[in-house]
Amino acid sequence: MILRSFTKLVLPAFSMVCALGLTGCLTHWFLETNTRLQMENGTDDCTLLGFYVISEDSTQFEPWIVETIEPGEHSRVEQGDWVGKFRVQLRYKRNGKTLYDVRKMEFEGGSSYMVVEQDSDSLTYRFK
């Protein structure tokens, strides 16, 4: 008798927990508000120094990835509240000079793996 009552309570409770968990996963899929970014240095002679999000008036720089990434290496995964179009700045060092690459980029949330590559005198960003 006790086992039958226990089963009647546990089974609906377990089903409800599973349904709520699945709903959370689906909501997370469609309403992603964070972007997780990992960068790989695919250049031959540049050292990446940091990746920043810039305010529209260029007065504020929010660090996203701040670590030294040598050629062939990759950064840790960093999470930021960046979904949408933003101006970004990549700081890097080439031939002893610190240089800056500024451009607009769009982040859609979720996980992004960005490879920074060299194309003659400019850098290209490729997402995997």
What does the pLDDT look like over 71-125, one tens digit per residue?
999 999 999 988 889 999 999 999 999 999 999 999 988 999 999 999 888 899 9
Whether residues 39 and 55 fall in one domain: yes
pTM: 0.73
Contact 41, 48 (CB under 8 A): yes
Q: Where are the beta strands (DSSP E) in the chain?
A: 35-41, 46-54, 61-65, 78-80, 84-94, 97-107, 110-119, 122-127
Please report which confidence band the pLDDT of residue 22 belongs to, taking 50, 70 and 90 as the band edges.
low
Contact 53, 62 (CB under 8 A): yes
Whether residues 21 and 62 fall in one domain: no
User: Which residues span the domain enclosing 81?
Assistant: 35-127
Whether residues 40 and 15 fall in one domain: no
Whether residues 91 and 48 fall in one domain: yes
Question: What local confidence, expressed as pLDDT, does residue 121 receive?
Answer: 80
Whether residues 3 and 55 fall in one domain: no
Whether residues 50 and 9 fall in one domain: no
Whether residues 101 and 72 fall in one domain: yes
**In the predicted structure, residue 34 carries a pLDDT above the cut 70:** yes
Mean pLDDT rounded to a whole number for the chain: 85
Whether residues 39 and 5 fall in one domain: no
